[in-house]
Each structure stands twice: as structure tokens, then as C-alpha cells.
Amino acid sequence: MFYRGVIINNRIYIKIFEDIDTLNKYIESEKTSIVSENTPLLSELTVTQNISLILEYHNRFNIKKSKKITSNLLQKSGLEELRDKLPFEIGKKDRLLIQFLRAYVSSCEMITIIKPFSMIDKIEDIDYIIKLSNIFNKRIQIVDTTLHNYYKENKCLIIK
């Protein structure tokens, strides 16, 4: 179903698809939390509120409990300074990381990051997701259709 792939570690792998239609069919067949350009942070909510909202809605946690969990998560990730910021006040890399944390608090066992290199400026920015995978116990798959283009001229820190 996919064109080729790479295993990063026991929790992270990359799947590269021939085209967007094949990628979309694959995603529809998976039970996963999605991180993509099509699942942006809510612009009127702070980072804390964006993550807490998932806990309140999916897990039916009250506001106090969800904010406490979110605060701990941001601290564990080293992103606590972003807690009161709005999405437009943070950079692309941090937005991707917050989207990742929002997907992490969902009930799904796997997080799928779709075309991450269209959401960040430098290929190295994805390395922090790999570091977070060592902290958080969820499987992560990165799916793309044009990944090979990102490796032609860049120093790739993902594939060891």
C-alpha cells in the first residue's frame, strides 16, 4: 500500500506514499490521532486551552483536571513557556509540537503526522518529536508523499 518506509525506533516510523490519494486511503483505514495542516490549533484559544479541550471533550475531564494534566504535559515537554500563548504568537516548530501534544492526549494509541515538512521550516525541527517519543508512550507514524525531496539538499537527522 505504501511506496517505501523507514523505521526510526520501536515507536516511530515513516511511510512514503506514491500519491496523496493512496496516502488518504491509508489514513482513513487507521485508528489514529492526526497532526496535519488540516487539523490546526484553534486561533482564539491559548496553547493550554487547545490541549485541554481534547481532554475535556474526549475524556470528559473537568476544566481543572484537564488544565493540570496539560500543565504537567507542557512542563514534561519543556514547553511550559508557551502555555498562555495564542497559536499566532508561536513559531511553526512550536505549533507542530503543540499539535503533537494535542494528539497525544486523545484516546488513540497512535499519532499520525501527515506531511510534517510542509508545516515546519527546517527538516531538523522534526527531531524534537523523536525526542518526545522517548518521553511519551505512543506509536508515531510520519506519512508523506514527497519526503525524498526533503533529503536531496538537506542534512537529514532523522534517518540514522
Domains of the chain by start residue, with CATH: 4-152 (3.40.50.300)
The tens digit of pLDDT for each residue in 102-159 reads 999 988 888 988 888 788 877 777 777 777 777 777 888 888 876 555 544 444 444 4
The tens digit of pLDDT for each residue in 67-91 reads 999 999 999 989 999 999 999 999 9
Triad 110, 61, 78: Cα angle to 5°:
60
Alpha carbon distance 55, 9 (integer Å)? 28
Q: How does residue 98 score in pLDDT terms, banded at 50, 70 and 90?
A: very high
Fill in the DSSP letter of residue 42. P
* Cα dihedral across residues 130, 7, 103, 115: positive or negative: positive
Amino acid at 60: R
